[in-house]
Chains A and B, each alone.
Chain A
Amino acid sequence: MALELRFDLVDLIKNESRAKRKAFAPLIKQRAIKVEFGNRCIDEIKRRTLAGEDKNGKTFKGSKGRPARKGKKAIKGSGAGKYSQSYRESLAYTIYGKTNKVNLKLTGEMHAHINVLKVDPSGVIIGIKDSTQEKKARGHINGSGYLPIRDFWGLSKDDQTKILKGVLKDFNDEDSISALTDALADAASIVGTTSLAGEKLQDAS
């Protein structure tokens, strides 16, 4: 099952004044507004995670370390927000040019797989469908083996409200171009190909 996170837009405006609620109510029913809100929530989760903070705004935990076992040396734990010595010495760490700040990003695949999955009558659901990336994300959220819990999966009510107000401000226009925004973003695709020179020559002959 996909990893999901639901945001309730109706709940977010319930503490607003009656006049504002009345003005916002028809807007937050629009699909395009929900989708844009979901996308901006994803942007914020990614921004915060890359800055090294979990969903509560705290620095990600460092490595827990590992006791010695079956001829393998013990691995020392690291300070908050830092990777373990053994990871820092790994080939992947060097190749991907990582710095010693935990930000849950190596290849970028997990971050790229967070999408708006669906909208419902009062909210929007973001999530990760791909099973490999979902497992990766759950490993961070729940911790796994010697990996500490690094829960990046969430957004505070304050942040959600701020984002919703930003979206409503941008979309509060009778001639909203929201549908266009949505359609264009969905339609965006670039075709990439790889080819060997040999194949090209064969094709040409």
Chain B
Amino acid sequence: MATFKDFSKAFAAIDRDVFSPNATKKLGERGADILYKRVKSGYGVSNDKKQFPKRDKLDGLEDSTIRQRRERGVSGKFGSPGRSNLTDTGQLLESFEVTGKQGQFNIDIPNTKRQKRGGEKKSRTNAEVAEHVSDNGRPFFALTKAEQQILAKEVKDTIRSKLRGLI
């Protein structure tokens, strides 16, 4: 039979491996990775202001943009002149920062200055670029309901595994 001490141990383990800032940071990094891979695959979300958006294909690039990208080259990972995956220099999607708090994580695009791209007059920050692409028909910065479910399931499985040791 499980004793009070066993319960205390299990709850401490749950707190450490699920709710502590370290644990939520890890979970947030997993969330950032899911987001990164989805966007690199060419998908954004239906609405990044909603709590549970759906996955949506990112709008294609205009011919003139593709031509321009072909001429000056695209250097970001998984980028190519004709592929719409928010990748040109790659700075935006590589800039995600994750912080963990008790029971909560935050994925942030910081206000860091970007290296200027060839032909660019003014250097913008990553947060400005994210806002720009989102406002111009390519919202991406949110986790879809299905993606949130992946994280929720991982949390649930961790809790189950900690409690399983009790019985």
Contact = CB atoms under 8 A, between A and B. Distances in A.
A107 B34 contact: yes
A16 interface: no
Contact of B163 (A107, A181, A192): A181
B167 A176 contact: yes
A109 B159 contact: no
A171 B37 CA distance: 41
Interface string A75-96: 0000000000000000110111
Interface in A151-188: 170-171, 173-178, 180-181, 184-185, 188
A188 B146 contact: no
Determine the main DSSP class of B at the interface with A: helix
B159 A188 contact: yes
Contacts of A108: 150
B25 to A, nearest CB: 11
Interface in A53-111: 91-92, 94-96, 107-109
Interface of A: 39, 43, 91-92, 94-96, 107-109, 112-113, 130, 132-133, 170-171, 173-178, 180-181, 184-185, 188-198, 200-201
Nearest to B157: A43
22 contacts: A39-B160, A43-B157, A107-B37, A180-B163, A184-B159, A185-B156, A185-B159, A190-B18, A190-B19, A190-B103, A190-B104, A190-B105, A192-B104, A192-B106, A193-B107, A194-B106, A194-B142, A197-B111, A197-B127, A198-B111, A198-B125, A198-B131
Contacts of A197: 108-111, 125-127
B28 interface: yes
B134 to A, nearest CB: 8
Interface in B1-60: 1-2, 7, 14, 18-19, 24, 27-28, 31, 34-35, 37-38, 40-42, 48
B72 interface: no
A109 B152 contact: no
Most chain-A CB neighbours within 10 Å: which of B27, B35, B40?
A: B40
B132 to A, nearest CB: 10
A101 B108 CA distance: 35
A198 B24 CA distance: 23
Contacts of A113: 146, 149
A178 B106 CA distance: 33
Given A181-B160, A184-B163, A91 B78 contact: yes
A120 to B, nearest CB: 22
A132 B125 CA distance: 36
B70 interface: no
